[in-house]
Amino acid sequence: MKSWLSHQSRALTGTLRKLVRSPLSTLFNVTVLGIALALPAALYVGLVNVQNAARAAAPEPQLTVFLALDATRPEVREIDSRLKKHDEVASLRFVSREQALEEMKRASGMAGIAEGLAQNPLPDAFVVDSRSAAPAALDRLRTEISGWPKVASVQLDTQWAQRLGALLELGRVGLLLLATLLAFALVAVTFNTIRLQILTQREEIEVATLIGATAAFIRRPFLYYGALLGLLGGAAACLLVWVALAVLNGALADLSYFYGARWELRYLAFADALSVLAFAAALGWLGAWLSVGRHLADVRPM
């Protein structure tokens, strides 16, 4: 075991020295790999941010029951009683037309419009939390309540979130396809880089083989080289995504100021960043393994 660890340590140290001795070539390869990995990583961060925004906007399925403008107080109380007794209703909140108008006045950009109204055009409403989040159950509840007297309309507030969820699923499929294509690109870059390394060290490999070096001994530094190259490419991808998000957050802060809100894009989570690094290192190792298996036999002495 001690001998094996010593061999691994020497191979890793030698690979690190090789990367340092050719900084321009290393920088070029790392930049290419970083850009290739940054594209799916940035798309993933975008999907996570959109998903978080959707959850914050509509955390639970809700229906908004708008009453007719001519609904009287007894009729409003009757609907309130029916909703409270309904088995599918978890909770509800009454929003009077006066309260709705006040909220409209407090909304950014709506105060002037609300002040100019001759009369209150907003109806009384109930915000209903359903016990079930299933689309079929929500549709049944909406259809039933819509048929009650003095109910003008029932709006399913999570409908847009469901459509957004379908778009996010489409985005995830696209992300998977893009990541797969770019993974092949990363393997191809590493494959070609290791091929050049093998050709450059042809004489060293031939001499090492003549004095009894095993295939594993010769292969080991190239595998470390590919894995380290992938790891550095993954780190470069995380850095590129971080810089891009920092720039976008600066611009987003200026925009959100005019809307009286605080919008901020979340960075790549620590666990996700580690996954990017591990994935990049694994792809670099795979590209090196394929290249060594393909080209090492060509440089061995006959």
DSSP 212: T
Res 302: pLDDT: 45
Q: What tokens appear for 112 in the block?
A: 């002037």
Contact 154, 64 (CB under 8 A): yes
Please return the burial class of 2, using the count of CB atoms within 10 Å of its CB with bins 0-12, 13-18 and 19+.
exposed
**Distance between CA atoms of residues 255 and 257, nearest Å:** 5
Helix/strand/coil (H/E/C) assignment for every residue in 107-137: CCCCHHHHHCCCCCCCCCEEEEEECCCCHHH
Res 213: pLDDT: 62
Amino acid code (one letter) for 29: N
Q: What tokens appear for 216 in the block?
A: 């594993």
Higher pLDDT pick, 4 / 170: 170
* Residue in 27, 31, 24, 49 with CA at minimum distance from that of residue 239: 31
Q: Does the structure show a pLDDT above 70 at 196? A: yes
Res 105: pLDDT: 66
**Distance between CA atoms of residues 253 and 261, nearest Å:** 9
**Distance between CA atoms of residues 100 and 103, nearest Å:** 5
Give domain limits for the chain.
Answer: 2-57+168-299, 62-157
Res 117: pLDDT: 59
Residue pLDDT, tens place only, 42-70 = 888 888 887 777 666 555 678 889 998 88
Q: What is the mean pLDDT of the chain?
A: 78
**Distance between CA atoms of residues 241 and 45, nearest Å:** 9
16-34 average pLDDT score: 79
In terms of average pLDDT, the best of 100-114, 203-217, 247-261 is 247-261
**Distance between CA atoms of residues 265 and 267, nearest Å:** 7
Higher pLDDT pick, 78 / 202: 78
pTM value is 0.62
| Of the options 3.40.50.720, 3.40.50.11890, 3.30.70.3040, 3.40.190.80, the CATH number for the domain spanning 62-157 | 3.30.70.3040
Assign 285 to helix, strand or coil.
helix
13-25 average pLDDT score: 72
Residue pLDDT, tens place only, 149-190 = 999 988 876 666 667 667 778 878 888 888 888 888 888 888
